[in-house]
Structure 1
Amino acid sequence: MAMQGLLPFLAMVIVQLGYTGMNTTSKLAMDYSNMKPLVLVAYRQIFATFVMIPFAYFLERKTRPKITMSVLFQIFLCSVTGITGNQVLFFVGLQKSSLTIATALTNILPAVTFLLAVISRQESVGIKRITGQAKVIGTLLCVGGAMFLTFYNGPIINIGESKIHWKYASNSGDHSSHHQSNSVLGSLIVIASTISWAVWYIIQAKVSDQFPAPYTSTLLMCFMGSIQCAVIGVCVNHHKSDWSLNSPIRLVASLYAGIVCTALAVFLTSWTIQRKGALYVSIFSPLLLILVAIVGWAILHEKIYVGTIVGSVLIVMGLYAVLWGKDKETKMKTEGISVVMPLEMVEGSKDLELQLPKDSGSNKELIANVEENGTIKSNEDEEKNLGLS
């Protein structure tokens, strides 16, 4: 029993370590070898496409629904918002800011998605209920923390200098100092990437309902995204040297992001969701921020500011407030509102291809949510909304 409880914990720690490595190698590739964000995202999606082919073929060849033009169009919109919009903006923002700040800002995703879900009338606020109040307060904390982290640095926290000296990291530190003046711009770009990601969730909820084949839809989304990023990348970065993978750090960053963080996290994340549920996976998101802060200081020689710490704490508090409100809503059997926003959306550093659904056969418990119009939504329907590709 103890081992059964420990394995999901270890699996999620490994996933967060994997994301930490991906963000770090990506930052090093852009700073040390001047790898362009569009090029990095294009290679990442190309490698991810090849990784997802066996998943889609062997796991869904007998259960895959018919792919219609309507489904293809919605997946295309997902690729535009979830890959081309989200990932390109994130890596551009990462290039212009610090690793810690970029990672911290991605944790505002639940709050942004909640706001867009309310605006699109996929979810109501329910301000008279404690769950609705928790979501509103959590959203305000996330937004306030993001603004504080973006516009205020404050004094440097003196924790000493790292003794790790690596040629890639030392060069990256010089570039980080150069980009310090653009940290506000970089933070705003990361926030824009999070908004694009939240739009993807709204669209993806409909795709998951109409086309419940997450591996296939992920494969198609990565394929479309790789074409989009490659075309845009060639137009913007048309020099042959921009696309060269001769530099070891460029090759490692591309392969790591496209293969390791896709194949490994696909298995571990979906396995953990099946056994512990979506909320369990979501609560590990702040661990990534802690790991990235440590790596950023130790390897990239990044400075830690008071504003970064305070802003990150506010964001994490808001994140847990929103998740708590969502979890309580899901457990309401006789009253409450239908939950559309997926709880696992904060998993990792925003790799859309890793957001996989819970196996519908793995949880036999029926959770009924009473919508405001009096209709009942079963756990099977709920899982379709929670499933992402």
Structure 2
Amino acid sequence: MAAGGVNGFLPAVAMVAVQAGFAGLNVVSKLALESGMSPYVLIAYRQIIATIALAPVAFFFERKSPVKISAGILLQILVCSTFGATLNQLLYFIGLKYTTPTIACALTNILPAFTFIMAVPFRIETADMRSRSGQAKVVGTALCVGGSMLMTFYKGALIRLPPSRIHWRYAEEAAVKGGTAASGTGGEAVGAMLVVGSCVAWAVWFILQARVSKSFSVPYTSSALLCAMAAVECLLVGAVVERDMARWALGLDIRLVSVLYIGLVGSGLSVSLMTWAIGKRGPLYVSMFSPLLLVIVAVLGWAILDEKLYVGSGLGSVVIVVGLYLVLWGKGSESRLKTLITGAQDEAEDVELGEGEEKKKVTTEGA
């Protein structure tokens, strides 16, 4: 019982670790982008480092797996890499360049809404408007989308917070040297819309990965192949956009720290844990943990980066979180109902089996 309880909590522990890793990713990536690093170069290095890190792990733990790699599996992983790594990360990091880490992370809270919308046609999720759980999921989805639009198009007044005593002065120096931060609401709106686009691509990956996990249940190998294919895609895109080799240079500075961190933690570790958790609990479960990222990044953004918070961002964040937890409540209610129904069916089958055995015994004794 105790072992089962621990195993039941493992997916949740893994997803909390993923969100903590993503929080650090947002901070170091923002610093690298503000120092002048190209987002195309950043994600190309990210996938290369992730592939190098995952390949030996996959070989060591899964080389004796009976699951075979077929042409169909490779094609499915290629599609997953296009949406889950290349498109998702291109849109996210270009968007992050023009907005703040807190806004970018808050907008990722619409991920469960997009995942739910896409999961319904594939019958991975249901939207029964006759039940309270179905109504909660639909209303929560609408609130998530509405909150993201509020954050994207409404800025509002500055929320005045006391200055942090641990503000990282390197952040100011990087921003001044790079000079790449967005200026004005227009740039921030474009950045926010790009982040929303990355959430759509990420939601597509969740749905596709849920199907791949059923036929190819080796998470490390799947993740290594995904990152390798994404590395090729990102290198091709980067080579077209960034033709100056000087833009690809890395020194002993925040750029090197950033690519190492996001490659090892942001892709290598996180993709493996998410792939494993999707196979265990499904795509919507994994996307449920995104609000934790907002809290961590908001604190880090204020404390380390001296990030400013505006009324539109605050209101939008609240609306998104309320909508998200409506979706979670609806999902939880459906899961409990399904468990009760399954338990009742199992009990009925046991009763029928017992009655059949009793009748057989009586017939045998009578004979």
Shorter-normalised TM range: 0.7 to 0.9
Structure 1 residues 265, 85: closer, same or farther in 2, change over 3 A?
closer
CA separation of 1:247 and 1:155: change in aligned 2, threshold 3 A:
same
* Partners of 1:170 and 1:319 in 2: CA distance: 34
Q: 2:65 aligns with which of 63, 79, 89?
A: 63
Structure 1 residues 157-172: aligned runs within 5 Å: 157-172=159-174
Structure 1: gaps (5+ residues): 337-365, 370-389
Distance change (3 Å), C-alpha of 1:319 and 1:22 = same
Q: How does 1:264-275 map onto structure 2 within 5 Å?
A: 265=270
Deviations along 1:146-171, one digit per CA (max 9) or x if unpaired, are 01111111111111233445443103
**Partner of 2:129 in structure 1?**
127
Alignment of 1:179-218 (within 5 A): 179-181=183-185, 182-218=187-223
Partner of 2:338: 333
Residue pairs, 1:88-99, within 5 angstroms = 88-99=90-101
Assess if the C-alpha contact under 8 Å between 1:173 and 1:300 holds in 2.
Answer: no
Q: Distance in 2 between matches of 1:277 and 1:367?
A: 21
Superposed CA RMSD in Å reads 3.3
Query: 8 Å contact 1:41–1:87 — kept in the other structure?
Result: yes
In the aligned structure 2, how far is the partner of 1:368 from the partner of 1:215?
A: 37
**Are residues 1:320 and 2:317 paired?**
no
Distance of aligned partners of 1:137 and 1:122 in 2 relative to their CA distance in 1, 3 Å threshold: same
Letter in 2 for 1:21: G
Match among 101, 104, 113 for residue 103 of structure 2: 101
Residue 243 of structure 1 aligns with an amino acid whose one-letter code is W
| Equivalent-residue separation in structure 2 for 1:150 and 1:241 (angstroms) | 34
Aligned partner of 1:29 among 9, 28, 32: 32
How far the C-alpha of 1:326 sits from its partner, in A, is: 1.9
Partner residue in 2 for 1:156: 158
TM-score, length-scaled by structure 2: 0.81
User: What's the CA shift for 1:309?
Assistant: 0.9
Deviation string 1:359-384 (CA, Å, 9 cap, x unpaired) is xxxxxxx8899xxxxxxxxxxxxxxx
Give the structure 1 partner of residue 21 of structure 2: 18
Cα distance in 2 for residues equivalent to 1:178 and 1:262? 26
Report the Cα distance in structure 2 between the residues aligned to 1:72 and 1:38, rounded to whole angstroms.
Answer: 25
Give the direction of change, closer, same or farther, for the CA distance of 1:266–1:120 in structure 2 (3 Å limit): closer
Do 2:217 and 2:279's aligned partners in 1 also have CA atoms closer than 8 Å?
Answer: no
What per-residue deviation string (whole Å, max 9, x for no partner) do you get for residues 33-85 of structure 1? x1111111111111111111132112222224111111111110001111111
Q: Greater CA deviation, 323-332 or 77-86?
A: 323-332
Instruction: For residue 290 of structure 1, report the CA deviation from its aligned partner.
Output: 1.3
The answer as to 2:308 corresponding to 1:306 is no
Shift of 1:294: 1.6
Cα separation, 2, equivalents of 1:66 and 1:277: 23
Partner deviation per Cα, 1:152-199 (whole Å, 9 max, x = no partner): 111111112334454431035554764444000000000001011111
Instruction: Give 3-state SS (helix, strand or coil) of 1:230's partner.
Output: helix
Q: Give, in whole Å, the separation in 2 of the partners of 1:86 and 1:143.
A: 18
Q: In 2, are the aligned partners of 1:22 and 1:261 still within 8 Å (CA)?
A: yes
> How far off is 1:287 after superposition?
2.4
TM-score normalized by structure 1?
Answer: 0.77
Amino acid across the alignment from 2:20: L
Q: Indicate the percent of aligned positions where both proteins have the same amino acid.
A: 49
Name the amino acid aligned to 2:95.
G
Whether the 8 Å contact between 2:139 and 2:323 is mirrored in structure 1 is: yes
1:223 aligns with 2:225: no
| Larger RCO, structures 1/2 (Cα 8 Å, 6+ apart) | 2
- By percentage of residues, which structure has more helix? 2
Q: Matches of 1:276 and 1:210 in 2, distance apart?
A: 15
Shift of 1:300: 1.7
AA aligned to 1:23 is N
- In 2: Cα distance, 1:267 partner to 1:228 partner: 20
Q: State the SS of the aligned residue for 1:332.
A: helix
Report the number of matched residues. 337
Which stretch of the first structure deviates more once superposed, 272-281 or 106-115?
272-281
